[in-house]
Structures are given as C-alpha cells and as structure tokens.
Amino acid sequence: MRLESLPLTVDHDIPAPVLTELTALYASNHEFHALSGDFPDPYDIRPEQVAAALAEELAGPGVEVLLARSEGRVVGLVITLDRHPDPDDPDPWIGLLMVDAGAHRKGFGRRVAGLVEERFLSGGRTAVRLAVLDNNPRGLAFWTALGYEVIGHRADLQLGRPCAVLRKSLRGV
C-alpha cells in the first residue's frame, strides 16, 4: 500500500477517473455519512458533492488529501492538517480517514493510519490528534485500539457536532 497526494488538473479539479473512484469510496461508507450528516442523502452521494467537499477541505491552510492505493486501486483516503486552527494546539491532525466499506476489517485503516503517523514523525512531529463524533462508537474503538487516547470533548468546528478529541504520541512509532 502507498499514500499519494490527490492529483489535480491545472484548473485544480480532480481528474474524472479519480473522482469516480473517490465517489465510489464515499458512497460505500453510507453508514458513516448517515452519522456525520456530511451529505444530504448518504445513500445517494454524487461526484459533484465529493468534489465540492474535497475542494472545501483543500481550501484550508496546511491541508493535504492523500489517497491510499493497493494493487492500483483507491482503497482509502486520508485528510491531514498540518496544525489545528487553535493556536494553542501544536499537533498535526487527521481530519478524516476513510476506507472502502468493502475492505473494512482487512487492516487497511490500520496501515493507512500507520503511514500517516510515519509521515508526521519523519517531518519532526511528536504527536497527532483527531476527533471522533460522539455518535460513532466504532470509530472510537478503532482509534483507541491504535493507541490514541481521549484527551477531551468539544464540538467540531464545521457543524458543531459533539466529538471526543484523541491524541497519540509518536515517540516509538
């Protein structure tokens, strides 16, 4: 498996074949999108919605969208932030990690998280944070199994949804 930056055209659009792959990835995770409320109909996610969501993410400073590829196909996506908008928070963040629902429970999420942690560690970062929606116990179980610890609770910045904030030290990763 490898991580690669989301390719963009000269007009900053997502190439059509990649957008097709990403739409399938997002659409496969309708259960998560039903929890998050990120899309009007989690059972009918459209390419233009995925493109708009990713464009909004990429508009933020220090944001990177990475594709996880295995055997040539996109099996996951991760959005990272070089730092949180809160100036008192020195750590980079994982804003979203999504694996194709057909590939859940096969170790892809664990591998993608590990690759992201290695990228941050090689960049001199010593810890990473993320937030899990309070209504997502499976997500919380996934991240705590990877060694992330709940350090607080707060509303997310986009929609004010209640979240657990988790942190993991990268020393020894």
pLDDT tens by residue, 108-149: 999 999 999 999 999 999 999 999 999 999 999 999 999 999
Q: Tell me, what amino acid is at 89?
A: D
Task: Write down the pLDDT at residue 159.
Answer: 84
The whole model's pTM is what? 0.93
Give the mean model confidence (pLDDT) for residues 143-170.
94
Measured from the Cβ of residue 125, the count of other Cβ atoms closer than 10 Å reads 16
CATH of the domain at 153: 3.40.630.30
Q: Which domain holds residue 101?
A: 2-169
Report percent pLDDT > 90 for the chain.
Answer: 82
pLDDT digits (tens, 9 = 90+) for 57-97: 999 899 999 999 999 999 999 999 998 878 888 999 999 99
The structural domain count of the chain equals: 1
Per DSSP bridges, beta strands 127-133 and 93-99 are parallel
Give the mean model confidence (pLDDT) for residues 40-64.
94
Measured from the Cβ of residue 167, the count of other Cβ atoms closer than 10 Å reads 17
Give the mean model confidence (pLDDT) for residues 32-51.
93
